[in-house]
Each structure stands twice: as structure tokens, then as C-alpha cells.
Chains A and B, each alone.
Chain A
Amino acid sequence: MGFVFTNTLAPMDIDLNNTDLGSKRGTAESISILGLVSIGDASIYAAAKSNNITTVKHADYEMFNVLGIYSRFTTIVWGD
């Protein structure tokens, strides 16, 4: 994680035996302002619902941060 700037993606699910990603990608996010207020729905259900995914096959996450002023956590799900 960078102190000044972070924009990284990484696996949330690390059980990858014969993982098929499926054809759809859904996202859901929560944000934090100045580390003081944090709101949002980054659940798997919300991410799946965002693109009508009924079967989740894999999940990654994205972390975006600028100087600790604005942070965003995104759950990314893959499935059908």
C-alpha cells in the first residue's frame, strides 16, 4: 500500500482450483473520507446483484487511496 497513492487489485478468493470466472463481472464499493467517515456496501451480494450474477465463481478486490484523504474499497465478483 502506497502512502501517497494506491490503486491495486488483488485476489479475495485464494481457493483457485479449476476456477472458472464465468461471463459476468459485478462490483460493489465502500468509501472512507479522511479515515473519519466510512460508508458503503461492498458485500458479495451487492456486487453480484449489480450485474445480475446468480452464481459467484470468484472474487477479487480493488483498493484505491489518495493520501488517506479518500479511500475506496471495491469488491469484484465473477460469475454467471
Chain B
Amino acid sequence: MRPQTLLPLFVALACSSCLTGCAGVPSIGGINPAALARAPSFPRVPVIPPSGFIFTDVKAPLQTSFEATSFGSRVGRAHTFYVRIPIPNYDISFAFEDASIAKAARKGGITQVKHVDYEMFQVFGLFGKFTTVVYGD
């Protein structure tokens, strides 16, 4: 195969690797700066699975310390939302709502929290939803 025909392939691979290099590396025990840069309202989470620039719909642990962790019989969810309006030279974005553990527990009728996961949904960085998922009794 001639080098000219390989060039687009290498460019595509480099671009994809760059994208996942920025967005695809999971962050364990810390913050992924790239994820924060893309979504300023992204909460502090210990584990960020590889994310997608166009579309992300993933669930991951919000807690990474386990000592005989059970889940209980109830589940409670609470959300925050992020909306960005792409206007040239301006970055107009909104983030609102309450995804606290307390609210998720209250919504699920949970008085004793046993474990917490989270859900992250985003489309093109324009709309994002972060959900705290609380398990307990």
C-alpha cells in the first residue's frame, strides 16, 4: 500500500486516539481534567469511564470503598442538568437542580444509605444530565 493511501488512516487513528486520550482515559481516585473542561458542572466523581464526544450514557461507581457493602431494598435518584447554548464568541451555559445524596435518599424513602452509583448522560456537550443513584433501606 502506498504511503499516500495510508495517510488518511493514520490521521483518523491519531484523531480518534487524541479524542479518547483526552476523553477516554478513566480517572480513578481523582478528577479527569478533560472531563471537567468539557462539562464545567460535572461533579467530583472518583471513577470516570471513557466518555463519548457525541453521546455518552454510562453508569459508574460514586463510591470506591467497600467493606461488606450491601444495597438494601430501595433505590433513590436525584439529577442535575447542564445546558449549553453554542453562540460564537460566547459560552452560555446553565447548570441547575439538586443531585445530592440527601435528596436522592429522600426521594427513594431511604433513611440508611448503603451504596451510591452515578449515571452520566450527555449529547454533544450541549445537554447533560448527572444522576446520583442511592441504594439503601
Contacts and interface: CB of A to CB of B under 8 A. Distances in A.
User: Which of under 10, 10 to 19, 20 to 34, or 35 or more describes the interface residues of A?
Assistant: 35 or more
Nearest to A36: B54
Nearest to A75: B61
A16 B6 CA distance: 48
Chain B interface, DSSP helix/strand/loop, else mixed: mixed
Interface residues of B, number: 43
A56 B52 contact: no
Contacts of B21: 3, 35, 68
Nearest to B26: A73
Interface string A24-59: 000000111111111111111110100000111111
A1 B70 CA distance: 32
A1 B50 CA distance: 13
A55 B49 contact: no
